[in-house]
């Protein structure tokens, strides 16, 4: 079974093309447009014609080449208010309502099979023009329509230089952030993520439910990264990793999961399935001995409350932590506890050797902040 492929109406495509061609400071935001690999070439084409920056912070898929000069790491909030045109590409949460909002005169364009996410019980993001249809077909038609418009080459060139500079500065800052974490205890997310990126090969699939800083990666091809989907998070990563390995047995699958999520994912069942079905996956457990999402939400709502004052968050404390590496060992896998940041690269190398050469599952218990 395959979903129907449709494209937005020609008049709507033409209208959007004209708006984009006339825009002075357009931006594009996406989270999941890369779930159709055929979409990326058309998105790259459109971005390069207009020198349109692509933001995909919090992405659930690999959407746009990270090395491309127009890729902007992180979320777009700081640029929302200055943009005169905002193109959202299958993005269910393009900005944080109440904190950052589009300029009152800005035009917001939404694209995707269901650009308004009508099945979401609560959602009220602005959309002035909606292009409903297959993302790949819609972007292809949109790129062709923009090519027929009258474009201000000088303005587009100047915009491209500015966003290229922003891209370079952001990548440099991210590299420095990883280096800063090289000696931190407990383990630093940016440093561990940079180490995973160094070990990642062309045939690696990254599954990230929690714990990896995706801005430290350099993804270039669709289908190499999958993040936790909007409908649910806790426990998703274990099953997703097993499914990815079943679907692509020739790929190396690395899955990063928070310790609370690991518990929700029924780890003994997951490791048993990995053993029974011979699915050698590398599981990285980001172990901070808490459900940090619960604690951070409490801090956000009650910054001056007693829990923040005492730094004690009931129902989110998972200490004392279990020895998660032993759970994997019980299923015939390799397990290792990692606390020293200097040991992270070597631990990853050992675990990947077990997965790739011995064809056994492995788990690294990363003791983190």
Domains 10-169 and 184-367 share a fold: yes
In order, the DSSP letters of 198-231 are HH--TTEEEEESSS--GGG----STTSEEE--TT
Cα–Cα dist 350/7, whole Å: 48
Architecture of the domain delimited by 184-367: 3-Layer(aba) Sandwich (3.40)
**How far is the CA of 208 from the CAs of 78, 94, 175, 178, 283, in angstroms?**
25, 20, 20, 18, 10
Residue ranges of the chain with pLDDT lower than 70?
A: 232
Cα–Cα dist 79/167, whole Å: 14
Task: Give the residue from 345, 352, 350, 346 showing the smallest Cα distance to 253.
Answer: 352
Cα–Cα dist 256/75, whole Å: 21
Element (H, E) at 287: strand 282-287
pLDDT score, position 188 = 97
pLDDT score, position 343 = 98
pLDDT in tens, 211-260: 999 999 999 999 999 999 877 678 999 999 999 999 999 999 999 999 99
Fold of 10-169: Rossmann fold (3.40.50)
Domains in the chain: boundaries: 10-169, 184-367
pTM here? 0.94
pLDDT score, position 281 = 98
pLDDT in tens, 98-108: 889 999 999 99
């Amino acid at each position: 079974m395959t979903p129907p492929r449709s494209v937005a109406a020609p008049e709507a495509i033409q209208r959007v093309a004209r708006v984009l061609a006339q825009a002075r400071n357009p931006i594009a935001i996406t989270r999941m447009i890369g779930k159709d690999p055929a979409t990326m070439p058309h998105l790259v084409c459109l971005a390069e014609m207009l020198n349109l920056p692509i933001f995909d912070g919090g992405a659930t898929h690999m959407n746009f080449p990270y090395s491309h000069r127009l890729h902007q790491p992180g979320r777009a909030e700081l640029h929302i208010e200055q943009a005169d045109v905002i193109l959202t590409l299958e993005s269910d949460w393009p900005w944080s309502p109440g904190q950052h909002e589009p300029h009152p005169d800005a035009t917001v364009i939404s694209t995707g099979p269901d650009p308004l996410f009508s099945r979401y019980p609560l959602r009220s993001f602005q959309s002035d023009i909606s292009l409903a249809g297959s993302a790949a077909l819609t972007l292809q038609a949109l790129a062709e329509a923009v090519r027929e418009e009258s474009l201000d080459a000088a303005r587009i060139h100047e915009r491209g230089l500015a966003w290229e500079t922003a891209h370079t500065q952001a990548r440099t800052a991210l590299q420095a952030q990883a280096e800063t974490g090289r000696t931190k205890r407990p383990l630093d997310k940016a440093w561990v993520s940079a180490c995973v990126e160094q070990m990642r090969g062309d045939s690696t699939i990254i599954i990230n439910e929690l714990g990896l800083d995706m801005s430290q990666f350099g993804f270039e091809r669709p289908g190499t990264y999958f993040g936790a989907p909007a409908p649910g998070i806790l426990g998703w990563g274990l099953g997703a990793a097993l499914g990815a390995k079943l679907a692509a047995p020739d790929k190396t699958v690395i899955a990063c999961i928070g310790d609370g999520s690991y518990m929700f994912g029924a780890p003994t069942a997951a490791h048993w399935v990995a053993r029974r079905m011979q699915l050698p996956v590398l599981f990285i457990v980001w172990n901070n001995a808490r459900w940090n999402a619960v604690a951070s939400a409490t801090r956000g709502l009650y910054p001056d409350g007693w829990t923040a004052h005492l730094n004690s968050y009931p129902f989110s404390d998972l200490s004392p932590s279990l020895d998660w590496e032993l759970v994997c060992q019980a299923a015939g896998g390799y397990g290792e506890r990692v606390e020293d940041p200097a040991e992270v690269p070597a631990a990853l190398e050992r675990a990947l050797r077990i997965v790739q050469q011995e064809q056994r599952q492995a788990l690294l218990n990363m003791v983190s902040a």
